[in-house]
Structure 1
Amino acid sequence: MIEQFKAYIAAERLFDPAAPLLLAVSGGLDSTVLVHLCVQAGLRAEVAHCNFRLRGGESDRDEQFVRALAATYGLPFHVQHFDTDAYAAGHKLSTQTAARELRYAWLEALRKQQGLAFIATAHHMQDNVETFWMNISKGTGMTGMHGILPLQGKIVRPLLFATREEIAAYAGAHGLQHVEDSSNETDKYTRNYFRHQVLPKLEAVFPEVVKNTGATIQRMREAETLYRQAVEAQRKKLVEQKGAEFFIPILKLRQAEPLATMLYELLKPFGFSASQAAQVQQLLDSEPGKWVASATHRLVRDRKWLIITPLEAAVSAHFIIEEGQEQVLLPGDMEISIRVSAADGEALPAAPDIASLDKSKLQFPLLLRKWKQGDYFYPLGMQKKKKLSRFFIDQKLSLPEKEKVWVLESAQRIVWVAGLRIDDRFKVTPASKEICRLQLKMRLH
């Protein structure tokens, strides 16, 4: 088994044998065997044990066993006590989820503190098979069908090749002692139910179900690699990034096959669930302006595009600009620079992001704010007022673009729709003596 252990580490490229490991050891059969195998294979390792204080004296017994086990092999020992019940109540988590969060957070902090390369856990083939069948039963995609990964970030699982029977046989052959966790006997936890009830019934019909499922998991991992490559190829074709926003062309997306799966994969990195991806698919046949939001992003159905934009944190709704002020810093790395100069007949820049205004017509302080429904102004060159909502339609602005528009007010009159158009009433004329120039631009860092 030692040779299989070393061969599995090499085949999966889990880690360099010279890399120092932090072994997560509960004191049960599996982790006790993991410690022995690491020592026999000549790996550098330290032992870490979590005391979750959930089983009274039994928890303390486990801690003492692991402490003695580490001492037997001359390995550094680390222990952490947790108030798991309090953490679970405070974070509204199940006891199992709370213990998992506490365990991995501490192990990772300890790994960094000790300068170790990886955290090694004692998950084996049965654990992987149980996870596979649990995921299948709940409903899953490709990710759920690859089971527990041998390498995940800084976590390695070098025992996934071995069955529980093989691990028990190894422990017996080497006279290894271990402790039993009484909570493993109850079926109130989903994993234990699959372990004690579901898999034994499957084994009664298919005696090789564990090894056969393990082989299927390996094939699914390989199939997932091909699947991810295909998804990434489509992502490069379909998703175009412009600043913080992402654009997906609707016509091209409609041609993607299978559409539902591709849409889910494209949206998953932005926090959208499978059910939300289904809602987005319905947006393809809706009118522009409809949207769906995840916890971090919003997707808007534009005329030709699906536009994904981040949900920005709340920002100031308005800025006061005093006379003589030279700059206003806006959210999203934007700024407005302000300069006042004498009107000397120079040609005025004709760009929508630059406003050249007759200073004498301005009343300070000015107010810079986000536009709102009901706003209107007199667009440059027009003598009639126009609502901003209508003006935006004429400019063919998408919903995310509309939401980013700021307007500049003087005495409750809009003088500039920033980045788009000034108000005709405040334009520079031959009679103007001073010009107030404002420019909307990206902020330099």
Structure 2
Amino acid sequence: MLSKLPEHLNNDLAFLKERKLLVAVSGGLDSMVLVHLLHQLNYDISIAHCNFNLRGEESDGDEDFITTYAKENKLQLFVTNFNTALFASDNKLSIQVAARQLRYLWFDELLQENNLDFLLTAHHLDDSLETFLINFTRGTGLEGLTGIPQQNGKIVRPLLPFTRDEILAYAKENDIQWREDSSNASDKYLRNRLRHDVVPLLKTLNPAFAESFQQTLENLQQAKSMMEDASVLIYKQVVTEKDNQKHFDIAHLKRLPNYRAYLYQWLNPFGFTAWEDIYALADAQSGKYILAGNFRLLKDREVLILERVQSEDNAAFEISEGSLAIEEPIKLTLGITQTINKNATKKIIFVDNQLIKFPLILRRWQEGDYFCPIGMNGLKKKVSKYFKDEKFSLGEKENTWLLCSGSDIVWIIGHRADERFKVTETTNTILKIEVL
């Protein structure tokens, strides 16, 4: 691997050289091999380790192991501890989802606060295979069959071309120490059942199964890329956008040899799932429609019209407890954090999570709305007066959203937070909200 990895890094991930990298290290086989290889290749790396406190002394042992490794190799180490079980219970999440949310929020904070460029994780080809099988058994489109992406924003996975067997062989050859996670032996989770029972059978049926699967992934990824390119070109021919609506020309649509595939590609981001009904809508009576959340697909004579159900002026959107992100009507991310970034922009607020009442409400401003601008010691101010003082144009007023807890304004999004929800010395849980 020490010979194959540099070639892979130079050919496919050359942008990582001369960058400051954060490596997520659990202490297990995969992450220890990754950090060893990067250290051997003289990359500028730091280590991040999460102690989820789910396995008692075993979890603490992992932390001690990583701490010792970092000292011996003179690597910068970041460690954090989470009460994962309590967080999962409070937010009604599974342990796996809670752990994922906690670690990636923390990783993101480390990147921002320490001016690090990329987060590297140790996902490999077998992980991608397991993800493929999970999606396949549950039912999915082409996007669910392309495995784990090599790069997703600032997250990069350098070991994706390598199998677990290759990683294990390298560790043994180079006397790399690692920690075994006892939960990996349990068949409680679907991923473990696939790993222990299904994947070994597939490898028995085809000794070269790993290589075949890798080639299949490459073919699927190329097909997906071609589909996306074609989708953009055909979209311009079929769809007309006007008055916040998308009009799909049915006659043009039905002349396409695979119009169902294009409809799936265009409508899937809006939350539609009743695909057979959608495909039938092209031949339905005028006036028939299908709903998906806040969107409606309507048959109107010779077109299908995609539009919002509510008018923009009166629309109110709920954000339920435990939501990590919303896409409509604006893009927001939410998550529990343990620190406040004092250099945060107007795009981010930090609030006392215990003062928030879910579901949160997103809505437009209305006459008579008031809030208590942060920094003004609780003094009330009408939103209309705030707009006037800040010299908002009519368009800016119309396109500004309010984030509300009950009837109280938490945030004039992207502009000013409310004093009543700010983080104080008595705050136990901090909620970070960011507009993208």
On whether the aligned pair clears a TM of 0.5, the verdict is yes
Aligned to 1:285: 283
Change (3 A) 1:259 1:316: closer
1:23/1:48 contact within 8 Å kept: yes
Paired letter, 1:68? T
The C-alpha deviation readout for 1:122-174, integer Å capped at 9, x for no partner, is: 01111112222222222222112210111111110001121212211221222
Aligned to 1:129: 129
Aligned to 2:431: none
Alignment partner for residue 294 of structure 1, among 271, 292, 295?
292
Paired letter, 2:219? R
Separation in 2, partners of 1:129, 1:306: 38
Paired letter, 1:224? K
1:14/1:158 contact within 8 Å kept: no
SS in structure 2 at match of 1:87: helix
SS in structure 1 at match of 2:3: helix
- Identity fraction in percent: 39
Aligned to 1:355: none
Aligned to 1:303: 301
Separation in 2, partners of 1:106, 1:311: 37
Separation in 2, partners of 1:56, 1:20: 33
Give unmatched runs, 5+ long, in structure 1.
Answer: 318-331, 333-441
Could you tell me how far 1:8 is from its partner in structure 2?
1.3
| 1:206 pairs with 2:232 | no
Give unmatched runs, 5+ long, in structure 2.
Answer: 316-328, 330-392, 397-436
Could you tell me how far 1:288 is from its partner in structure 2?
2.4
Aligned to 1:36: 36
Paired letter, 1:47? I
6-15 or 245-254, larger mean C-alpha shift: 6-15
SS in structure 2 at match of 1:68: helix
SS in structure 1 at match of 2:15: coil
Aligned to 1:55: 55
Aligned to 1:11: 11
Aligned to 2:66: 66
Could you tell me how far 1:216 is from its partner in structure 2?
1.2
Separation in 1, partners of 2:168, 2:3: 17
| Greater C-alpha Rg | 1
Change (3 A) 1:283 1:181: same
Could you tell me how far 1:193 is from its partner in structure 2?
0.6
Aligned to 1:403: none
TM-score of the superposed pair, with normalisation by structure 2: 0.69
Could you tell me how far 1:315 is from its partner in structure 2?
4.8
Aligned to 1:394: none
Separation in 1, partners of 2:63, 2:310: 47
Superposition map of 1:314-333 within 5 A? 315=313
1:12/1:150 contact within 8 Å kept: no
| 1:262 pairs with 2:271 | no
Separation in 1, partners of 2:12, 2:160: 11
The C-alpha deviation readout for 1:392-413, integer Å capped at 9, x for no partner, is: xxxxxxxxxxxxxxxxxxxxxx
Change (3 A) 1:314 1:244: closer
1:22/1:45 contact within 8 Å kept: yes
SS in structure 2 at match of 1:15: helix
Could you tell me how far 1:200 is from its partner in structure 2?
1.1
SS in structure 2 at match of 1:240: strand
